[in-house]
A and B are shown apart, each in its own frame.
Chain A
Amino acid sequence: MRHVDKTVTGLTIAFAVLFLADFFMAEWVRFIGLQSLARGAVALGLLVLWRTGLVSFGHALYFGIGAYAAAMLTLIGYHDAFFLVFAGTLASGVLAFLLGFLLRRYRAIFFALLNMAFSMILYGVIVKTEELGSTDGFSLHPPTFLGYAPQGEAVQTTLFIFTLVFTYIVTVGVHLYLKTTLGGMSMAVRENEIRVEYLGYSAEKVIHVKYVFSGLVAGFGGAIMALAIGQVDPDSMANWNVSGEFVFITILSGIGNVGATYIGALVFELIRTYAFEYAPQIWQFILGGSLLAIIMFLPDGIWSLVDRLRKSEG
């Protein structure tokens, strides 16, 4: 009998549950869910890099490109979610492919900060562009779905299913990719690049492919975020602290499993929502405090809880 992949099973169950839940969910829960899926997708991109031993402090670049590409297309009259998300993802992927030629040569802090530098260039360009609303950004019309133009609450319901389907495909895809030889090369590159080269693989090419992957999913997340909220602005889409949030989510989730990033993103959204509601003047403090607590008590992230449970069971 073929081996059943537990992660794929788990993701499929989660997909089915969330799909059904879409019809019952309170609006605010769905809205938080949408944002978690979008942010989780970016964290997924970071996870792919992280497994290779690379941390990016600049993935808001791809998130921002994805969001602004989708949003700018609405300015010239395109409103179809399929097209907008595809365009946003593609734009980020192309940029990641181009920047990859440079970035694949750097490691550690140099890689992290070069990414940040590029993201801040995008930030500076948006802030200086009055046509794009500079720091204010601009609003988007609700999206349509292949000619179907939902109204009111149906916009979010449809968008949620749309996002869910694509997130499922992307996440399972990344998971399967990580199990291939090229994908499995992550750990090898992290542990010893020279040995990888002796095996006949190019470490730089491995990293380049992963970088494009991470750019694509981050762009996907950005485009979804723009559609979900209906507004883009540079401080929430392209600033360095947004990149920091993604690193936060990745640390929170741990890199043990592709599904963990969405759980991490959801936990992040919930902490932020409740901290904002109950401590409007010190909510940033609570957010920082919880990151500190995670690092101290769960250094391998939330997913390590699952591993611990597994071990205690058998």
Chain B
Amino acid sequence: MNILKMGPGKAGLLATGLAAAVSFAAPANAADEVVMAVPTFLTGAGAPAFGVPARNGAEVIIEAINKGKLPAPYNNSGKGLAGRQIKAVIYDESGGGVKQVAEFRNKVQKQGVDLFVGYISSGTCAAITPVAEELKMLTIFPICGTPRIFEEINKTPKYVFRTMGHATADGVAEALYVKANMPGVKGYTGINQNYAWGQDSWRDFDLAMKQLMPSVPASDKAQWPKIFSGQYGAEISALMLSKEKLVHSSLWGGDLEAFIFQGSARGLFRKKDVLFSVADTSVYRLGKKAPFGSILGARGPYGIFAAGVDTPLNNWFRKVYIDRYSVPPVGGSYQAAQGVLAAKYAYDAAAKANGGKFPNKDQVIAALEGATYQGIAAPVHMNRSNGHQAATKHMIGVLQWDKEAGEPIMTKVTEFGPDCVMPPPGVNGTEWLKGGMKGAKC
């Protein structure tokens, strides 16, 4: 049949059919389930070291929620989210902001998603925030670190939450650690990816250092490789030649591992003291090839820092995770699980306030705003940015190899309280740092 030779009658029929087909193509989900989209890196450089462990962490916790098997303090909360089973839609975060915004709309409009718990890259979160608010979609960012989300992009969020501290907390904790443990440091340089997370990480560490150790100068030759570039030959050469001994780096995922491999081969970690913001994700993967002696963080009390936390929830999480995946959970796994727990807490609390009936979206949001709930490793205080931004305690230490146990361990660990490293509620992080971190409770 030739569409161009059709009579008007046939064409009209076809048009009506088409219109009918597309208008009924609405999402079909069961009424007794909550559709939770979980975007995380499943392909590309972000996947193996970060995206996949994060997905694993989310899967472990979602399964336990659905079966009602979470230990204390969630042990009497029934199955699912306020009694409804979670249907998880796990998908790939790679491809950049435009692709992810398009996919966000797709998931909301085509698959009828009820809430999002995910996104790892700060670039994705920055792109998603406006569209999540526009589509009035409950969105919990468990990981991404740029402070811009609630400081520039949306200062009065209603639908978007973040359940961990942001880059300012990392910068302050690192600078406090350097001041306490490396009083003789004479200068610092850095290698950070040239996008929101890398730029903000360096800026906040630099600003915190200027307050805490004003006589120590920053290098003007800090390195800015592109995200997911994977090749750091030129940058490593520049770092080797720099006169500063301390190197700050917020590289993560595959980029971080490529940098460690390429840097180790050239003796970078023997020559320089490197401070990594997010390197815990790779310590188990790299084994004995990890850069021992480096200072590192996990963007909070997660991963290797939580190895010794003796609570029922943490012990259970580690055991189930290790049994299933044969490696210990890393920071990303903890953080993703912490994001899903926020949903668990909020739905259950909202149902309770709603007389036991399943809550609507506004009630869930009201329950999560300003709440304090138990994460896997530590309590999470949703007390910044109108109750949408979390603060947690923070930890920094030095990575060493434990010969007896045959595994990496953290030594010389320092713990920082949430109100020590995060700017106080209502205060812009950059201004807080420039103003001398007033009101910090350390």
Contacts and interface: CB of A to CB of B under 8 A. Distances in A.
Interface of A: 6-7, 9-10, 13, 16-17, 20-21, 24-29, 31-32, 35, 127-128, 130, 133-137, 139, 142, 152, 225, 229-237, 273, 276-277, 280-281, 283-284, 306, 309-310, 313
A127 B194 contact: yes
A136 B195 contact: yes
A280 to B, nearest CB: 5
Contacts of A306: 2-3
22 contacts: A7-B4, A10-B4, A13-B3, A26-B23, A29-B25, A31-B106, A35-B102, A135-B227, A136-B126, A136-B127, A137-B123, A225-B98, A229-B101, A231-B101, A233-B123, A235-B96, A236-B95, A276-B92, A277-B91, A280-B91, A306-B3, A313-B5
A31 to B, nearest CB: 5
Q: Nearest 3 A-B pairs (CB), nearest first?
A: A236-B98, A28-B110, A24-B23
Contacts of B95: 235-236
Contacts of B19: 17, 20-21, 24-25
A188 B11 CA distance: 36
A195 B112 CA distance: 60
Nearest to A283: B92
Interface in B85-137: 90-92, 95-99, 101-103, 105-106, 109-111, 122-123, 126-127, 129-131, 134
B264 interface: no
A31 B105 contact: yes
A234 B99 CA distance: 11
B240 interface: no
Nearest to A273: B106
A236 B2 contact: no
B323 to A, nearest CB: 23
A137 B3 CA distance: 42
B43 interface: yes
B109 A28 contact: yes
Contacts of B3: 10, 13, 306
Contact of A135 (B20, B43, B123, B129): B123
Nearest to A151: B134
B120 to A, nearest CB: 14
Contact of A309 (B2, B22, B102, B227): B2
A233 B97 contact: yes
Contacts of A31: 102, 105-106, 109
Contacts of B123: 135-137, 233
Nearest to B90: A280
Interface string B3-31: 11100000100110011101111100000
Contacts of B378: none
Contacts of B99: 236
B43 A284 contact: yes
B129 to A, nearest CB: 8
Given A20-B15, A233-B96, A276-B92, A137 B226 contact: no
A184 to B, nearest CB: 21
Nearest to A313: B2
B413 interface: no
A29 to B, nearest CB: 5
Interface footprint category on B: 35 or more
Contacts of B185: none
Contact of B153 (A35, A139, A277, A280): A139
Given A21-B18, A26-B25, A281 B43 contact: yes
A13 B111 contact: no
A267 to B, nearest CB: 15
Contacts of B26: 26
B194 A135 contact: yes
B160 to A, nearest CB: 13
B199 A25 contact: no
B342 interface: no
Contacts of B140: none
Max count, chain A CB within 10 A of own CB: residue among B18, B98, B153: B98
A267 B186 CA distance: 60
A277 B42 CA distance: 13
Given A20-B15, A230-B134, 7 more contacts: A133-B126, A139-B130, A280-B90, A280-B92, A284-B43, A309-B2, A313-B5
Interface string B153-172: 10000000000000000000
B131 A230 contact: yes
B210 to A, nearest CB: 20
Contacts of A128: 194
Contact of A17 (B15, B105, B106, B153): B15
Contacts of A133: 126, 195-196
Contact of B96 (A32, A137, A313): A137
Contact of B22 (A29, A136, A235, A310): A29
Contacts of B106: 28, 31-32, 273, 277
Contacts of A152: 134
B304 to A, nearest CB: 27
B265 interface: no
A276 B103 contact: yes
B291 to A, nearest CB: 26
B105 A28 contact: yes
Given A9-B4, A233-B123, A236-B95, A134 B195 contact: yes
B140 to A, nearest CB: 19
B1 interface: yes
B22 A26 contact: yes
Max count, chain B CB within 10 A of own CB: residue among A136, A152, A277: A136
Contact of B91 (A26, A134, A230, A276): A276
A283 B43 CA distance: 10
Nearest to B26: A26
A136 to B, nearest CB: 4
